[in-house]
Amino acid sequence: MKTRYIIAAACLMTGSTASAQKTDLRLEALKGIELDYQGTSSGAANSEVFNDLTYWNFFAVRYRGWNGGNGATSTTLPDGATLWTFADSYFGLISENRERKRKLNNTTYNAGIVQTGEDTEDDFLTLNAYQGTSLADLDTYYKGLDWIPAAEDGTVYRPEDATLIKYDGEPLVQVLLSGYLNGERTETSVAEYTVTNGHELQLKGIRRKVSLANVNYGRAILEDDGHAYLYGELPRANIGGCYIVVARTSSTDLTSRWEYYVKDADGNWSWQRTTPTEDELKRSNIASGVRPSSPAVFTYGGKYYLCTIDTGAIWITTSTNPYGPFSGRRRLYAVPEEQQDATLLAIHPQLSRMGELPLSYCMQPVDITYYRRANTGKALPIVVKGPDRNYYDWESADLNQVHFLRVIGWQSIYNIENVGPLPDSNKESYLATGIHELRQASDAAARDASGTLYDLQGRRISNEPERGIFIRDGKKIMK
């Protein structure tokens, strides 16, 4: 693997002066990880932010095949390997000067990578199939196909977060999906993968439309107290940012019954099983801030923490429960100006070694203007849109990439004790959970007493079939 360091020069807005680094990077716990000091978090001199150059090079410095993508959610697999999922991704060939040419690359709606170690590029296995691998055909050379296939009706899927459960005594990975048809978000679904040999995945099927479509529930998942808490975004028209909302499932199985945490008109919060209206969702924002987006959640020392991106920075808030509302807002990191379109924040507890907070975020490059001399001799402004900067120019392949951070000493922000690495709530939930009862055909339907109809594949149907077997109110009906 070729190593390339891309360091964005920026002030962290930590005060009038920058502070000297305190963390000793020679610590045994940090062995094998190369970090670059960026400064301190706002108002907390002992909370130090580092670019993680090791993981930047693992994911961003690639020259063939998958070479960049949006989002980077991570899920621990049974043998300790990590499943990384991405939404829109680039595949193809990158030049020596890091130029991504359109004719040599394509994009997919999703991608998956399994990481089995931290030593070489061979520890990272791309799960997408390739259109071709022969240099004789550059039109297909290492261009990708979708990892999660489109539905028969043309719906394409972008993954959110994922979880690992036990199904009939065997491991099962569930990936929450945002489904899009003709460019519009139309469903929230779940892809299920069986796991063999500890980390080998095989698609079992896609359970479609498990929840409402206008919120991308599952941008982050936290397993706690026998539930999976699902954090999502409802875009805020005109003012930007999102309403950050939360749902939960009755068990850690993402196809079990969903409940939504809603605040009524009188300001009272409660869990409800009925699908919330848009007005209810707008009242039920659990985050603080001006224009929060990209929720990422973790638990530590008996409390819960919600991180968001807002007004060019990454913020952290806290609560005594996983559903909030969250308060005590503090700034962790000011995103460099070149990366102001930062998005898709994620937390990776399995990477934590000594209590530090491992984060990642993606960025779309900002629009730039350059000037060219016109025939009249005057300077002619040329605007290059951010998405177009991901192609053609030198180092264009370094722009739309995942950026990794480690925040060491973040506990000082809230004056709490460092009790060691972040807990991996999904791993702990998986290890603690007994064997689930064998699922009926569509256990989502089996828990739904609302009269909704399902076929035996768990798909909702609008009318009772004239003949055959279907499910209503959790019971099989035969005609």
Q: What is the DSSP string of 146-182?
A: -SSPPPTTS-EEEEEEEEEEEETTEEEEEEEEEEEET
Q: Which of 208-212, 263-267, 423-427 has the lowest mean pLDDT?
A: 208-212
Q: What is the pLDDT of residue 104?
A: 95
For 23-52, b/e burial (b = at least 16 CB within 10 A) is beeeeeebeebbbebbbbbbebeebbbbbb
Cβ pair 143, 65 in contact under 8 A: no
**pLDDT at 317 (0 to 100):** 98
Q: Which of 203, 219, 207, 115 has the alpha carbon at shortest distance from 158?
A: 219
Q: What is the dihedral of CA 117, 122, 128, 134, to 10 degrees?
A: 180
Q: Which residue has the higher pLDDT, 74 or 3?
A: 74
Q: Does the pLDDT value for residue 418 go beyond 70?
A: yes
Q: Residue 89 pLDDT more than 70?
A: yes
Higher pLDDT, 265 or 438: 265
- Please give the pLDDT value at position 224: 95
Per-residue confidence (pLDDT) for residue 155, from 0 to 100: 97
- Residue 455 is predicted with a pLDDT of 58
- Average pLDDT of span 378-389: 84
What average pLDDT does range 412-436 have in this prediction? 87
Predicted local confidence at residue 471, as pLDDT? 62
Mean pLDDT of all residues in 253-267: 96
Least confident of 198-202, 380-384, 387-391: 387-391
**Bridge partners for 384 per DSSP:** 368
CA distance 442 to 255: 8
Least confident of 4-8, 99-103, 276-280, 409-413: 4-8
The pLDDT value recorded for residue 479 is 64
Q: What is the predicted pLDDT for the residue at 448?
A: 44
Whole-number average pLDDT of the chain: 88
- The pLDDT value recorded for residue 447 is 41
8 Å CB contact between 128 and 111: yes
CA distance 70 to 56: 14
Per-residue model confidence (pLDDT) at position 446? 42
Distance from C-alpha of 353 to C-alpha of 341, rounded to nearest angstrom = 29
Q: pLDDT value at position 459?
A: 54
- pLDDT for 11 equals 40
Across 267-276, 303-312, 365-374, least confident range: 365-374
**pLDDT confidence tier of residue 472, bands split at 50, 70 and 90:** low
Res 294 pLDDT > 50: yes
* Cβ proximity of 346 and 69 under 8 Å: no
pLDDT for 50 equals 97
With bands split at pLDDT 50, 70 and 90, how would you rate the model's confidence at 284?
A: very high
Separation CA 322–CA 295 (nearest Å): 12
Instruction: Pinpoint the alpha helices (H) of 290-438.
Output: 425-432
Chain position carrying tokens 């499932």: 249
Predicted TM-score (pTM) of the model is: 0.86
pLDDT at 41 over 90: yes
